[in-house]
């Protein structure tokens, strides 16, 4: 039987709600979600690691991850760019999530453009599904992907949060 994965949990208060951060002992972010979606995050962890193959322990002190996210919400929109992540997913999902991290703060692209950047222009729907399965919103900035017509499309934390995140990044760039 494999060793259980020991994960640390902490909550960060932000202007748009409280975030739950899940990290591993090496300081890599594994999952993040809004507290009103915490059940969804626990189901994701169970699916990725097995329901009995991980433990969650409250972090004793604010982690470097929490400090970087706090700085992001305070206006340093680049503070999250170097946060180390470790996620489970298919090779395709991971390629989409890596591409998301290449979208500069304050900018948006369409699902079609993201598919083209991955060299799979016909995979727009698959890109959308992978974007929606992203376990590390904000840090892996799925909120920066919009509809082809420029409309805000689905966001796991709700469209109001997506709008706030995009406006926050644009405002910070103007400062």
Per-residue pLDDT of the chain (175 residues; tens, 9 = 90+): 468 899 999 999 999 999 999 999 999 999 999 999 888 888 889 988 988 899 999 998 888 999 999 999 999 999 999 999 999 999 999 999 999 999 999 999 999 999 999 999 999 999 999 998 999 999 999 999 998 888 888 888 889 999 999 999 999 988 7
Identify the DSSP state of 100: H
Residues 6+ apart with CB under 8 A from 112: 121, 124, 148
Q: Is 37 left (phi over 0), alpha (psi -120 to 50) or beta?
A: alpha
Reported pTM:
0.92
Catalytic residue among 22, 142, 165, 166: 142
Return the exposure string of 143-160: e unless at least 16 CB atoms fall within 10 Å of the residue's CB, then b: bbbbeeeeeebebbbeee
- Give residue 147's domain range: 91-174
If asked whether residues 129 and 164 sit together in one domain, one would say yes
Q: Assess whether 47 carries a catalytic annotation.
A: no
Residue 85 lies in a domain: no
If asked whether residues 115 and 170 sit together in one domain, one would say yes
If asked whether residues 96 and 162 sit together in one domain, one would say yes
**3-state SS of the chain: helix, strand, coil percent to 5?**
40, 20, 40
Residue 9 tokens, joined: 């949990």
Residue 50 lies in a domain: yes
Question: Could you tell me whether strands 17-24 and 29-34 are parallel, antiparallel, or unpaired per DSSP bridges?
Answer: antiparallel
Domain count, the chain: 2
Return the exposure string of 3-42: e unless at least 16 CB atoms fall within 10 Å of the residue's CB, then b: eebebbbbebebebbebbbbbeeeeebbbbbbeebeeebb
* Residues 66 and 21: beta-carbon distance below 8 Å: yes
């Amino acid at each position: 039987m494999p060793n259980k994965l020991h994960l640390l949990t902490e909550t960060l208060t932000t202007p748009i709600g409280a975030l739950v951060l899940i990290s591993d002992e090496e300081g890599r972010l594994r999952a993040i979600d809004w507290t009103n979606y915490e059940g969804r995050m626990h189901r994701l962890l169970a699916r990725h690691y097995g329901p009995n193959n991980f433990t969650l322990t409250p972090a004793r002190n604010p982690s470097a991850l929490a400090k970087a996210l706090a700085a992001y919400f305070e206006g340093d929109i680049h503070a999250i760019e170097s946060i180390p992540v470790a996620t489970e997913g298919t090779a395709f999902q991971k390629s989409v999530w890596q591409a998301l991290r290449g979208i500069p703060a304050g900018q948006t692209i369409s699902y079609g453009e993201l598919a083209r950047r991955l060299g799979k222009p016909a995979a727009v729907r698959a890109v959308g599904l992978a974007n929606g399965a992203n376990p590390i919103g904000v840090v892996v900035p799925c909120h920066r992907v919009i509809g082809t017509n420029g409309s805000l499309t689905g966001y796991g934390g709700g469209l109001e949060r997506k709008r706030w995140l995009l406006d926050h990044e644009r405002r910070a760039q103007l400062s």
